[in-house]
Amino acid sequence: MLRFVEGDRGAFEILFQRYRDPVYGYLARIVGRASAEDLLQVSFLSVVRSRGRFDRDARFKPWLYAIATNAARDHLRRGRVEQLSSPGASSGADEAVDPPNVDPGRERAIRRALMQLPENQRLAIVMHRFQDLSFAEIAEALDLSESAAKVRAHRGYEKLRELLRGLWEEE
């Protein structure tokens, strides 16, 4: 990132290739896949436009997730959340990328349960469980203390267990 801040265009390509998939996965779990593509682009556009705001002593990954989180929050604030489909329905975008060995019903149930969590718990869980961010990185991305990040994740996991109890008992 420091090379990019200094004007090395090629460094951006490296960052994009490295973080494109994880950030897309993060956004898809928060706003849905159809919107995630646009927000992925918006997030990297923000990296380009705001590279002067990057703290040289900070880590790039939490900064990028902070940007993606802000973009997703703005998207949700403006009421552009995708309607969670009924169990039988699936968007075209979902079908287009689902590998054949995946249980789309289970995936939808998890996403629906995640969407029922308070936003602060949902973000902490998605970053921690699905994006492999450490609690220190989550704290940096969400501008929290590390212990606050742990509390949010802990409460979120507990609540998620309640929400998904039926699904796991079936298995």
- Least Å distance, CB 68 to another protein, is 8
Judged by DSSP in three states, 85 sits in coil
Is residue 40 within 8 A of residue 48, CB to CB? The reply is no
Using alpha carbons, select from 43, 103, 45 the residue that is nearest to residue 111.
103
If binding is defined by CB under 8 A, does position 164 make contact with another protein?
A: yes
- Residues 91, 83: Cα–Cα separation, whole Å: 10
Residue with tokens 């990040």: 149
Is residue 156 within 8 A of residue 138, CB to CB? The reply is no
If binding is defined by CB under 8 A, does position 138 make contact with another protein?
A: no
Looking at 76, 81, 110, 115, which residue binds another protein (CB under 8 A)?
Answer: 110
Binding site for another protein (CB under 8 A): 4-7, 9, 12-13, 16, 20-22, 24-25, 28-29, 33, 36-37, 40-55, 63, 66-68, 70-71, 73-74, 77, 96-97, 99, 102, 106-107, 110, 125, 128-130, 135, 143, 147, 150-151, 153-155, 157-158, 160-161, 164, 168
